[in-house]
C-alpha cells in the first residue's frame, strides 16, 4: 500500500492512499460519508455498515441523526480502526445552495470531533462526490483547503490526515488538489507546507510509525517517512 503525495504542515502529515476505507487499521478514525438519518445507505456508508456489523446501526439509532456539514462519532465495532466519524456532505444542487461551505464544514467538524475525542489520525473518503454528485475536482480542492486550514489552526493536534480512495480518478483529483494547495500555501502562510515524499510504501513498519506518531511529535515527519 502506497501513501502518495505526502505533505506536512508542522508535525501533521497529509496524503492520498488507494485503499478501501473499511479495512484501514493504521488510523484512529475513519470518516463515513453518511446521510442525515445516520441509518446507513449505499456507497461508502453501506460498506462501512457492512464491515462494522449491526452494532454500528444500533449505536447510530441513538444519535438522533446529523445535520449536513456536522459530524458525530461512534465505535468501529468489527472495523480495524478505533472509531468512525460520521459526517453528512451536501447534495450537489448546482453550487448555489451553500454546498462549498457545507462541504468544508464536514471536514472541519470531523477533525474537531477527532481532536475532542483524543484522536490523532483520520482517514477521509471523498465526501459528497459519489451518490451526492458533487463535482470531484471542486470537492477535492475544498476538502484539501479545509483540512489545511484546520491543521494550521491546531498545530500539533493531528499526526496524519489521509484521503482513502478506491478509484484512480478520485485519487488523482486529491493528489492534484494537494499539489495545487501546497503551492498556494507556501506563498502566503507560515508555517509553510513541506513536501515529505511523492510516495511512501505503507509497510507494516510504516503503519507502526504512523500509529506511533504521537510519540514522535518533537521530530520532523520527513525523517520517518523517507
- Which residue in the list 11, 19, 28, 45 is annotated as catalytic? 45
Neighbouring CB atoms inside 10 A of 90's CB total: 23
Nearer to ligand AR6, 4 or 129 (CB): 129
Contacts of 186 (CB under 8 A, 6+ apart): 192, 193
Q: Candidates 7-15, 54-62, 119-127, 215-223: pick the segment binding ligand AR6 (CB under 6 A).
A: 119-127
* DSSP 8-state code for residue 183: H
Contact 54, 108 (CB under 8 A): no
Residues of this chain, 21-50, that bind ligand AR6 according to CB under 6 A: 21-22, 33-35, 41-45, 47
- For residue 226, the SS3 value is coil
Query: Does the protein bind ligand AR6 through residue 132 (CB under 6 A)?
Result: yes
* Residue owning grid cell 506511533: 212
Query: Does the protein bind ligand AR6 through residue 157 (CB under 6 A)?
Result: no
45 in active site: yes
Nearer to ligand AR6, 64 or 118 (CB): 64
Query: Does the protein bind ligand AR6 through residue 164 (CB under 6 A)?
Result: yes
The CB-of-181 to ligand AR6 minimum distance in angstroms stands at: 19
Nearer to ligand AR6, 41 or 65 (CB): 41
Contacts of 212 (CB under 8 A, 6+ apart): none
**How far from 142 is each of 146, 154, 161, 167, 225, CA to CA, in Å?**
6, 18, 15, 19, 26
Q: Contact residues for ligand AR6 (CB under 6 A)?
A: 20-22, 33-35, 41-45, 47, 89, 125-132, 164, 166-167, 170
Residues catalogued as catalytic: 45
Amino acid at each position: 500500500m502506497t501513501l502518495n503525495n505526502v505533505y506536512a504542515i508542522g508535525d501533521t502529515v497529509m496524503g492520498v492512499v488507494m485503499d478501501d476505507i473499511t479495512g484501514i487499521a493504521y488510523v484512529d478514525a475513519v470518516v463515513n460519508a453518511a446521510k442525515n438519518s445516520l441509518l446507513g445507505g449505499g456507497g461508502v456508508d453501506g460498506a462501512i455498515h457492512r464491515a462494522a456489523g449491526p452494532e454500528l446501526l444500533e449505536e447510530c439509532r441513538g444519535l438522533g441523526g446529523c445535520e449536513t456539514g456536522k459530524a458525530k462519532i461512534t465505535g468501529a465495532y468489527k472495523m480495524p480502526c478505533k472509531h468512525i466519524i460520521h459526517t453528512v456532505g451536501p447534495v450537489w444542487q448546482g453550487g448555489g445552495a451553500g454546498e462549498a461551505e457545507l462541504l468544508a464544514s464536514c471536514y472541519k467538524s470531523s477533525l474537531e470531533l477527532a481532536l475532542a475525542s483524543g484522536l490523532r489520525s483520520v482517514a477521509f473518503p471523498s465526501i459528497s462526490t459519489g451518490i451526492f454528485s458533487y463535482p470531484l475536482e471542486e470537492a477535492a480542492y475544498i476538502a484539501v483547503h479545509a483540512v489545511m486550514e484546520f491543521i494550521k489552526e491546531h498545530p500539533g493536534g493531528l499526526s496524519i490526515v489521509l484521503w482513502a480512495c478506491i478509484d484512480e480518478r478520485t485519487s488523482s483529483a486529491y493528489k492534484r488538489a494537494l499539489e495545487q494547495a501546497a503551492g498556494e500555501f507556501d506563498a502566503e502562510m507560515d508555517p509553510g507546507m513541506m513536501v515529505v515524499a511523492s510516495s511512501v510504501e505503507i509497510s507494516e513498519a510504516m503503519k507502526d510509525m504512523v500509529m506511533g506518531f504521537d510519540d514522535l511529535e518533537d521530530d520532523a515527519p520527513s525523517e520517518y517517512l523517507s
